[in-house]
Structure formats: C-alpha cells, structure tokens
Chain A
Amino acid sequence: MIVGEQKPLEEIWEMVKRHDRLTVFGCNTCVAVCHQGGNKEAGILASLLRMKASQEGVDIEIVDSGIERQCEHEFFESARDLLAKSEAVLSLACGIGVQFVATKYPVTPVYPALNTTFLGDVIAPGHFTEKCQACGDCVLGITGGVCPVSRCCKRLSNGPCGGSSNGKCEISKDIDCAWQLIVDRLEALGRLDDYEKLPPLKDWSKDRAGGPRSFKLEGF
C-alpha cells in the first residue's frame, strides 16, 4: 500500500489560511492504514485547524469529509455536492488522490495534507517499511524475494557493498542490509550458487526515468 505522513500543521496552515471555506477531505484506504490520511484523521485535522484559525483570528469555515478512495471516479459520488461548493480542498490522500481531485475540479484549489513517502507494508502495528519502488522491471525472482532496488541504499544489482556490517547497512543501524537478506534467503532456498550469476544491466527506461508510465487494458 501507499504510505504517507502528515505534514507539520504550520505548513498546512500556511497553504490554507487564505480561504474562507475549506473542505478537509480524507481518503480511507491506503493512507488510513497508516493513520495519517483516513476519514478519521480528516476529522482530527479539521478540529486542529479550527482551533488554529480561531487563535489566529482568521475566519474559515472548515468542513471535514472523506471517501473510500480519491483515485477513482466512482468513489466521489457521495461527496459530489460538497466538493462542488467547496472553495478549496485539503486532501489527506497520497499524491495520486490530490492530483485526481485537482483534475476533477479544475478551478478548485487543492492542497496536500500529507507527504507521500513510500510503497510499503505493515511489519508490526504502527510500523511501516518501504518494500517497492515500482521500477517497472521486477527482479524479485532472482533475488530470493528481497528487493535490492527499494531496500539497498545504493540499489545495487550485485551487492552487498563493503559497508554491510552485522546485517545492517552502513548508513544506519536501523536499516537491514538488503543484500544480507538476499544472501540469507538464497541460502535457505539452496540457491546460493545463483549469487554468482551476473544479471543483465537494469533497464531504467521502465522506471520513472522513462517518463510517466501508464497502461491500458484492451477491450474496456
């Protein structure tokens, strides 16, 4: 899922304070799992902004709402009227949802309440870690199911580098060395010999480097 983190309140306030009527709009799927952008968080953020507004002596009418997903047309049905009459929208969705709202409402200002941080999993309650960078050319089949693109700080195709120490990355003791994990997995799978195979050079044209990506299902 997509993980995001709420921006500092001060930064959000600076973006929205010029408006008279603001809709604080939650997205109740990915970013709700990390308790940053769901409809509940939209309610809390709206309260905080109301308190901020009254203290700053600024008159803003702040309404909170939300839908299940801000990245698909059909989910917007229930919020159609509200959004249509909003002067501005503070979206708690990831960057995708913020842009989707902006495209749907071409003359309504839309602001991001979150920094979209990564594609990750929930390894323990409240603990989210990056696992994929959507590079467009998955190598998990040859790396024992551990991604070197997202999890090695140097995204090495042939790691580990000389900085791997006690299973940790040289840049932080909080980061596992992805190549230690790959080697351990290959060994557990009885495939350590595969370690010495040189993979082809990575085709980054399938990554962000190749420009915005899209794909279309035939016959839809």
Chain B
Amino acid sequence: MENQCHFLEGNTNAAKRVKRLQSLLVTVGIDPERLHFYNLSAAQGPRWAEICTEFTEKINKLGPSPIRLALQKKKEAKNHDE
C-alpha cells in the first residue's frame, strides 16, 4: 500500500516511472491504458484476482496491441513470399 512499502519509497518511485513509461508508450503509438499501476498488499488475494479479471477484460476490449498486429502482418507476408 502507499506509504507502507517494504522499500520505503519504492512503490512511489515505481508509480512515477510507470507514469513516465506511459508517456513514452504514447510516442510509439501504444495506448497508455495498456499499462496500469495498482497498489496492493500480499494479504489482498481476492482484490488481486479482481484486478486481474478487470484488466484482462480491458485488454480484450482494446484488442491486440499494434505491435502484435504489425509482427503478425510481417509473418504473413513472409509466409506468402515463401
């Protein structure tokens, strides 16, 4: 949880980095919604499961990442050539 990190400021630093990474993802055309930072403790198993479900649903809705699509296209083109 916030302010209760075993490594003192570790999780707040991580949150800042994730925020910065989100802005970098935008520069390469990736929806920053694909990356999210949650605070939760080891004792919050049910919440963890909930987050995983929610996030999987969200990603499913967003569809495949543009990188995956690009790579797939490349592979198909390669197969086609052969």
Tell me, yes or no, whether A and B come into direct contact in the complex with CB atoms closer than 8 A. yes
Q: Are B74 and A57 in contact, with the CB atoms below 8 A?
A: yes
Nearest residue (CB) in B for A45 is B24
- Chain B, range 7-24, C-beta contacts under 8 Å to A: 24
Interface residues on A, range: 10 to 19
Which residues of B are found within 8 Å of A48, using beta-carbon distances? Answer: 24, 27-28
Q: A interface, by DSSP: helix, strand, loop or mixed? A: helix
Contacts known (A51-B30, A51-B67); A57 close to B24, Cβ less than 8 A: no
Q: Are A54 and B27 in contact, with the CB atoms below 8 A?
A: no
Q: Are B73 and A57 in contact, with the CB atoms below 8 A?
A: yes
Is residue B43 within 8 Å, beta carbon to beta carbon, of the partner chain?
Answer: no
Interface residues on B, range: 10 to 19
- Interface residues of chain A, those whose CB is within 8 Å of chain B, are 8-10, 44, 48, 51-52, 54-57
Q: For the complex formed, measure the closest distance between the CB of A187 and the CB atoms of chain B, giving whole angstroms.
A: 40
Q: For the complex formed, measure the closest distance between the CB of A58 and the CB atoms of chain B, giving whole angstroms.
A: 10
Q: Are A55 and B29 in contact, with the CB atoms below 8 A?
A: yes
Q: Are B28 and A55 in contact, with the CB atoms below 8 A?
A: yes
Nearest residue (CB) in B for A54 is B70
The answer for the CA separation of A51 and B21 in the assembled complex, in Å, is 13
Nearest residue (CB) in B for A49 is B28
- Chain B, range 33-82, C-beta contacts under 8 Å to A: 66-67, 70-71, 73-74
The answer for the CA separation of A9 and B25 in the assembled complex, in Å, is 11
Q: Are A54 and B67 in contact, with the CB atoms below 8 A?
A: yes
Jot down 26 A-B pairs with beta carbons below 8 A, ordered by A. A8-B27, A9-B27, A9-B28, A10-B27, A44-B24, A48-B24, A48-B27, A48-B28, A51-B28, A51-B30, A51-B67, A52-B28, A52-B29, A54-B67, A54-B70, A54-B71, A54-B74, A55-B28, A55-B29, A55-B66, A55-B67, A55-B70, A56-B70, A57-B70, A57-B73, A57-B74
Q: For the complex formed, measure the closest distance between the CB of A57 and the CB atoms of chain B, giving whole angstroms.
A: 6
